[in-house]
Chain A
Amino acid sequence: MKPEIDPVGADAAAAQPETAGASRARADSPAIVWTWAAGLILAGALALAAPYLVVMSGPRPPSGGRLWDFSVGLGFGALGLAALQFALTGRLRWLTHPFGADIVYLFHRYLSWAAVALMLGHFGIFYVWYQLALGELNPLTARWELTAARLSLLCFVALVVSSQFRERLGLRYEHWRYIHIALAVTGFVAAVAHVLGVGRFTESPEQRALWLGVTLGWLALLIWVRIIRPWVQIRNPWQVVARRDEGGGVTTLELEPLGRPLKNWKPGQFAWLSVGRSAFALKEHPFTISTAPERGPNLSFSIKALGDDTEQLVQTPVGTRAYVDGPYGAFSVDRKAGAEGFVMIAGGVGITPILSNLHALQSRRDPRPVVLIYANPDWDSAAFRDELQAMQSDLRLTLIHVLDDAPDGWQGETGRVDAALLDRHLPPESRDWPHMLCGPGPMIDALRAALRDGGVPARHIDFEIFELV
C-alpha cells in the first residue's frame, strides 16, 4: 500500500492556546516526587535493618563463630529482601507512584537476584565450613527446619530462573503467574518456618513480636492484593463498548465504567486489564491506556495481537464485562515539569503510551513543540497513522515515519533510527527536552546510546519498559 501522507510532516500551525500555563501546572512537582521517593527508600532501608536491630536488642545467643554469624546475617537480609518483594509487587499505588510501576518491577527483578545471591551465600558458608551442622539431605531423616531452608532455597532459585527464562522455557504468561505466586508463597513460608524452627533468634518478646509482625504484615498484604482489591474491582466493573481496528494489527477496546471510573490518572499510564473473567482470576495483562484523561471516563486500550492471550483479547465482543486495575506508570508528559518541548520515539506498538500523551497535549491545546519519530517494519504495520496525521492540525507535531521495508515511491526515512537520523530531525534545542522512548528492548538500548552520544543528558532520556517479564 502506498503512503497517502507526507512522511515528514511539516510543523503544524501552532495553536496559541490560552491554556498553556494550565497544562504545565498539571505536571507533578519533581520536589514532591523526589521527597516521596526518598521517604520510601529510607523506609525500605529501615525495614531491612529492623531484623538486625531487634535481634541485637534482645538477649544475644552465643556466637557460633564469625563465619557462622555472618552467614546467619546474610540469611536475615535475604529474608528481608524476600518480604520486601511482596510489597513491591503488591501494586500499591503509594509505593509505585514516585518511581513508575515499570521501574518498581525492574527493581523487583534486580532485588530477586540479590536475594538469591544472599541466600546462596548463607547456604554456601554452612556448606563449606559447617557441613556437619547441615546434617542429612534426606527430608525423612533430616531436621525439618533445615529441610524447610532447602525447600525455600529451591523455590527462590526456581523463581528467578523461571522469570528470567520464561520465554525460553516456553512458559505462557498466565501459567508463569500461577507458578510464580505458588513458588513465592511456599519459599517465603518455608524461610520463616526455618527461622522459627532454628529458634536462635525467637526467644525475647521483641524478637517474637518481630516475627509475628512480619508474618501478619505479609498476610495482610496477601489478603489485600488477592481478596480485597479484586472484590473492589468486582463492585466496579467495566464494559467493552467499542472495538476498533487501528491498522498495523492493533485493535482498540473502549471500556465504559459501570461503577466508579478511574481516578487521577495521567496520560501514558497503564492498567492491568482482565476481560470476560472474574476479577479473582490471574489472567490479566498490563496495557497502556491509549486515550487521555481529558477524554474520560471511558478508557481505551490498544492491543496488538501477538500470538498469546492477546489474540483472544482483540476479538472481545462489545458488551463483555471487564475489570481494570490502575493507573500505574510514570511515562507521562505530566512528569516533565518545565519541559519546553518533547522528543518522542516509538517502535511498533510502543506508540500507545506516546499516543496517550499526545492526546493529552492535544486536548489541552498545548503549544509546545513535539517531534515524534515512529519506526515500523513496513507502512502497513504503522498503527494510528491517520490519527497521528490529523493531530498535526492541533499540535506543533513533527511526525517522522521510519520504515524498515519501504514501499515503492517512499520518500521518507528508512532503516533503523540511528544517530544520523536523529541528527537530521531533532533541532539543537531539543537536547534539553525530555526524550520519551517506547519500543522493543534492543531499539531502546540503541536509542539511548545514540542520544547520549548526541549530547542528550541521561536525565532527559526516559523510557517505558513494557516487557515486565
Chain B
Amino acid sequence: MSLQEFWQSVRTGAKLYAPTRVVSDSPRMNTAVLDDILARADLWLAPKVVKGYDPVDFSFLPPERRAALTAQVDEFRQVAEQVDPRGQATYEQIARAKPLFREIVQALEFDRFADPEAFRIGKQAEADPRFPSGDVSDVRYRMDVNWEGEPVVRIMAYVPESEDEAFLRKAADVRERIQNIVFEIGEPYWPHVSLRKSSDLDELPEVGDDE
C-alpha cells in the first residue's frame, strides 16, 4: 500500500500548501498580515508529506520520469528534515522546497487521476504507442465498482472536435483504442470509456441545474 500512502500524503500536503486568501468583515483585523502569516505557513513542509514513497511503486513510469520524481522527493525530504520541529521553516527552506513540491504535485496530476490505481493504469495506457494521444485533448480516470460489484475503471476522454459527425466517428475510434489497451494492462478492471467534446468542459451543467 506504499503507492496509496504516498498518494494520500502528497494530496493532503497539497491541500495544506494551497494559498489561502484571508477575507474578514472585522475592521480591526489586518488581513494583509494574516495573508503573510499564511503564505509563510509551512505545514506542507514536513517529511510526512512524501511518506510512503518507493520508486519501485512507480515502475510503470518511464525511467527518466521515475528518476526525476525520486530526486525531487529525496531533495524535498532532505529540506523538510532540516526544518526546526519547534520553530518555523526559514524563507530559504521554503524557497527551496516550494518548486520541488509543486513538481511532485504536478507529476501526480490529481485533476486527471482520482486515485493511485487510476494513475497507474492511465499512465501505462498513455505510454502505449497505440494510445490515441493526438485525438484527445484530455483524459480522466477513476476506479470504481459497477452495479454488480465488479471492479471497473471509468475513463472520460475529451475529443477536440465540434462537428457532430466527425466527433462520433472519432469517438468510436478513441473508445476502441483506449479499451483495447486497458483490456491488456488493466485486468481485472473493465474499461468503461465515455466520450465528450472538449467544448463540453465549459458547458457541463451542474448537478440539478435544469431540474
Q: Do A and B bind each other?
A: no
A residues in contact (CB < 8 Å) with B: none
The residues of B with any CB-CB pair to A shorter than 8 Å are none
